[in-house]
């Protein structure tokens, strides 16, 4: 992998997502890297469905990785971030998507390689 994000970090990310039972799609350069693109990145971007249960799961996910509590990037968007520390020592940015979109979270997640 040609990235500052190690395989160990990605495995820890996957384990934490499973433990928190958080439905998330890896997007951005990290997703490109996982699909073999010659890119580098120093953070992980996720797409998460905006539901009450998922907001609770985000807190558990942050705890699983030894990170900070979820924090807003700005009051003007739904993009938030978690400062990774122990298991996943990089920043994790995520966007919470909600209704009114033609985008189907489940359809896109099902298209992702396992």
Q: Is the pLDDT score of 1 beyond 50?
A: no
The domain in which residue 104 lies consists of 7-111
Q: What is the pLDDT of residues 62-104, one digit of tens each?
A: 999 988 988 888 887 778 889 887 778 888 888 876 665 566 7
Count of structural domains within the chain: 1
Q: What is the CATH number of the domain that holds 93?
A: 3.30.460.40
2 in any annotated domain:
no
| Distant-in-sequence contacts of 71-74, Cβ < 8 A, 24+ apart | none
Q: Assign 14 to helix, strand or coil.
A: helix
Strands (E), the chain: 24-27, 43-49, 71-72, 79-83, 91-97
Q: Computed over its alpha carbons, how large is the radius of gyration of the chain?
A: 13
Q: What is the pLDDT of residues 25-65, one digit of tens each?
A: 888 888 888 888 888 888 889 988 888 999 999 999 999 99
70 in any annotated domain:
yes
Question: Which pLDDT belongs to residue 94?
Answer: 84
């Amino acid at each position: 992998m040609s990235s500052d994000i190690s395989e160990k970090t990605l495995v820890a990310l996957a384990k934490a997502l499973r433990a928190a039972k958080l439905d998330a799609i890896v997007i951005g350069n990290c997703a490109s890297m996982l699909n073999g693109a010659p890119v580098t990145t120093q953070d992980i971007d996720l797409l998460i469905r905006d539901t009450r249960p998922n907001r609770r799961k985000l807190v558990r996910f942050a705890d699983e990785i030894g990170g900070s509590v979820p924090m807003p990037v700005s009051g003007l968007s739904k993009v938030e971030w978690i400062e990774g520390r122990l298991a996943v020592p990089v920043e994790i940015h995520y966007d919470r998507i909600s209704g009114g979109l033609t985008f189907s979270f489940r359809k896109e997640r099902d298209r992702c390689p396992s």
